[in-house]
Amino acid sequence: MKVPLLDLKPQYEQIREEIEPELLEICRSQMFILGPKVAECEAAVAAYCGAAHGVGVTSGSDALLVALMTEGIGAGDEVITTPYTFFATVGAIARLGAKPVFVDIEPDTFNLDAAKLEAAVTPRTKAIIPVHLYGQMADMDAVMAVAEKHGLVVIEDAAQAIGSERNGRRAGSIGHYGCFSFFPSKNLGCFGDGGMITMQDEARAKKAVILRNHGSDPKYYHKLVGGNFRLDALQAAVVTVKLRHLDGWTAARQANAERYRKLFAAAGLEAAGKVTLPVAKTNRHIYNQFVIRAENRDGLLAHLRGQDVGVEIYYPVPLHLQDCFRDLGHREGDFPESERAAKETLALPIYPDLTDDMAARVVDCVAGFYGTGT
């Protein structure tokens, strides 16, 4: 039995009848850029996230970029974030000429360790970007406390965490900005690239709206240099339709996580110290990924792929050790938890349509590798 890491085709079959007429309507209207479909999507996503405003943009990467641009962050500024994230988090900081300053992660959640945050603040620090990795929120209470004490802006990288909650508050509703990705593999994915910035503050939302359209306000008059960061109507329509199903899909991901926990317990793999399962801390974890730590991770990876089980490493090289950030002067050992996570972690299939048999097959194959199978 093949078990893919992600298969979106069954999901498309569930929503085909809702989505295809929407897409056809847009094709017939020939209204592709911004417009009412984007406005509808922005209102729906903002409300879902508990934010007052939503600004649709071209991608999650551009959501981060536009949020930083809205704050005027650039050369001479420092932005604190985690080195254990997708490249886009740190790429956005570097593209604006600002300096990424890293804080290591908590070993259990893989999120930025807020206890280490304040020591990284300098007179040049302008912002903090906590990342809600794999679908679980970072410790936002602690992040906001440091931010408020030092007058810093907080940009939540919620690309993997739409609908995630911590102490009853949603991702994208706590910081000054929430940045979301609609990349197809995300829990709320569109049919290409797309993203959204959520905000509570109206002035920030207005500025982001201007920046996503070349800083044009009114048309052809530019007080700011922005870019083309516009979300298109086709992607917005897909997101609006899919959003109605998101809670059901999240529940299916959570049920898959519970199923894995039972299967791994039955196989005795955690007790034997072979794997460590993800923890869900005072959170609504939305399981964009189900990431385990594994003994001999690379051996297990090769074994599972050899058995047609789709797995992936998110992420094999922490950002402080990437070639393009060599100028920051970091070396191995600077952020030991991030480096250890990069060596030990492995994402297993968790998508909503994963079946019981498929989950059992994954755990059987893991048990087979460690010689603990039944």
Q: Which region among 5-13, 18-26, 157-165, 259-267 touches ligand PLP (by CB under 6 A)?
A: 157-165
Residue 94: is it exposed, middle or buried by C-beta count within 10 angstroms (0-12/13-18/19+)?
middle
Q: Which of 3, 26, 57, 59 binds ligand PLP (CB under 6 A)?
A: 59
Our finding on whether 131 is near ligand PLP (CB under 6 A) is yes
The half-sphere exposure of 361 on its side-chain side, counting CA atoms within 13 A, is: 19
Q: Which region among 108-116, 135-143, 152-160, 356-364 touches ligand PLP (by CB under 6 A)?
A: 152-160
Smallest gap from Cβ 197 to ligand PLP, in A, equals: 12
Alpha-carbon 181 to chain mean position: 7
The one-letter amino acid at 267: A
Q: Specify the DSSP class assigned to residue 209.
A: H
Which uninterrupted H or E stretch holds 76?
Answer: none
Q: Which of 46, 48, 53, 61 binds ligand PLP (CB under 6 A)?
A: 61
Contacts of ligand PLP in 72-91 (CB under 6 A)? 85-86, 88-89
Which residue lies nearer to ligand PLP by CB, 187 or 276? 187
Decide: 153 and 126 in contact? Cβ < 8 Å.
Answer: yes
Which residue lies nearer to ligand PLP by CB, 181 or 338? 181
Which residue lies nearer to ligand PLP by CB, 276 or 289? 289
Decide: 71 and 153 in contact? Cβ < 8 Å.
Answer: yes
Q: Specify the DSSP class assigned to residue 216.
A: B
Which uninterrupted H or E stretch holds 350?
Answer: none
Q: How many residues bind ligand PLP (CB under 6 A)?
A: 15
Q: Which of 157, 165, 232, 312 binds ligand PLP (CB under 6 A)?
A: 157
Which residue lies nearer to ligand PLP by CB, 235 or 254? 235
Q: Which of 195, 278, 349, 352 binds ligand PLP (CB under 6 A)?
A: 195
Dihedral (Cα; 323, 179, 237, 192), 10-degree rounding: 0
Pick from 150, 127, 131, 149: which is nearest to 140 by CA? Answer: 131
Distance (Å, whole) CA 195 – CA 232: 10
Smallest gap from Cβ 155 to ligand PLP, in A, equals: 11
Which residue lies nearer to ligand PLP by CB, 83 or 195? 195
Q: What are phi and psi of 169, to 5 degrees?
A: -115, 140
Q: Which region among 16-24, 97-105, 153-161, 221-229 touches ligand PLP (by CB under 6 A)?
A: 153-161
Q: Specify the DSSP class assigned to residue 213.
A: B
Which residue lies nearer to ligand PLP by CB, 175 or 263? 175
Smallest gap from Cβ 310 to ligand PLP, in A, equals: 17
Smallest gap from Cβ 265 to ligand PLP, in A, equals: 29
Our finding on whether 181 is near ligand PLP (CB under 6 A) is yes
Our finding on whether 164 is near ligand PLP (CB under 6 A) is no
Q: Which region among 20-28, 58-66, 140-148, 252-260 touches ligand PLP (by CB under 6 A)?
A: 58-66
Task: Transcribe 275-338 into DSSP letters.
Answer: EEPPP--SEE---S-EEEEETTHHHHHHHHHHTTB--B-S-SS-GGGSGGGGGG---TTSSHHH
Smallest gap from Cβ 183 to ligand PLP, in A, equals: 4
Smallest gap from Cβ 8 to ligand PLP, in A, equals: 15
Structure tokens at 170: 């949603």
Binding site for ligand PLP (CB under 6 A): 59-61, 85-86, 88-89, 131, 157, 159-160, 181, 183, 193, 195
